[in-house]
Amino acid sequence: MEIINKALEFEQRPMKFVTTSDRILASREVKSLILSLNEIYKQTKDQQIMEIMKRLTAIKQKIEKRLKGFKVPAA
């Protein structure tokens, strides 16, 4: 259950993404974790995994909300 440990570790990190590229990398990482957990959940139907996925999804939404706030002007 290495994926679960990675997910819990990501959840405990301070959410201080200073640059846009940090936010993009964090968003991709959390998306990957959610998808991996979803594959495990499909097989086991463990409610604890579902709760972890819900918390990670909330974090992902906050990161993406912050990303969408920055509009790059067209050149």
pLDDT higher than 60, residue 75? no
**pTM for the whole thing?**
0.79
pLDDT higher than 70, residue 74? no
Supply angle C-alpha 14, 16, 19, rounded to 5. Answer: 150
- Give tens-digit pLDDT for 6-59: 988 988 888 777 788 888 898 999 999 999 999 999 999 989 999 999 999 998
Q: Are 34 and 57 in contact (CB under 8 A)?
A: yes
- Domain assignments of the chain as residue spans, ordered by start: 2-11+20-68
**Band of pLDDT at residue 71, cut at 50, 70 and 90:** low
- 53 C-beta neighbours (distance < 10 Å), count: 19
Q: Which amino acid is at 69?
A: G
CA distances to 9, 34, 35, 70, 75 from 18, in Å: 19, 23, 25, 13, 24
